[in-house]
Amino acid sequence: MNDRKLNVGGSATGNFNLGDNVTMGNVTVGQAEARRDLLADLAALRAEVADRPEITTRIDDLEEEATAEQPDPSGGRKAFERLKNALAGVAGVTEVLATIEDQVRALFS
């Protein structure tokens, strides 16, 4: 006999689980695509600023965060902020930087 019931009245938000040995986790939608696109854009940016080691170091940091087995949202966002600050005043990177920012949000949110 099934003795498990869930009755919801009105509106309900959040997580629900019912049963034995229930496992819950995050479902990441689009994360693999965001990671792939981010790495491609970072490679393109690296080609543009190859003569600026202070920037390529920041690209390395963000790549490391993006390729981690378990991406750390805080670390990824901090690495992006450091890269963005290093790019201040560099002409011609505004568009790729905006794209990278969107991908960082998708990957590290």
Quote the percentage of the chain above a pLDDT of 70. 73
Report pLDDT for 26: 57
* Residue 75: how many other CB atoms lie within 10 Å: 15
Q: Residue 11 gets which letter from DSSP?
A: -
**Has this prediction a pTM greater than 0.85?**
no
Query: What are phi and psi for residue 66, nearest 5 degrees?
Result: -70, -25
Report pLDDT for 109: 84
Does 78 have pLDDT greater than 80?
yes
pLDDT tens-digit readout, 5-49:
666 666 556 566 666 666 666 555 578 899 999 999 999 999 999
**Band of pLDDT at residue 77, cut at 50, 70 and 90:** very high
In three-state form (DSSP H/G/I as H, E/B as E, the rest C), the secondary structure along 13-65 is CCCCCCCCCCCCCCCCCCHHHHHHHHHHHHHHHHHHCCCCHHHHHHHHHHHHH
Domain ranges of the chain: 31-107
For residues 76-98, give the mean pLDDT: 95
Average pLDDT, the chain: 86
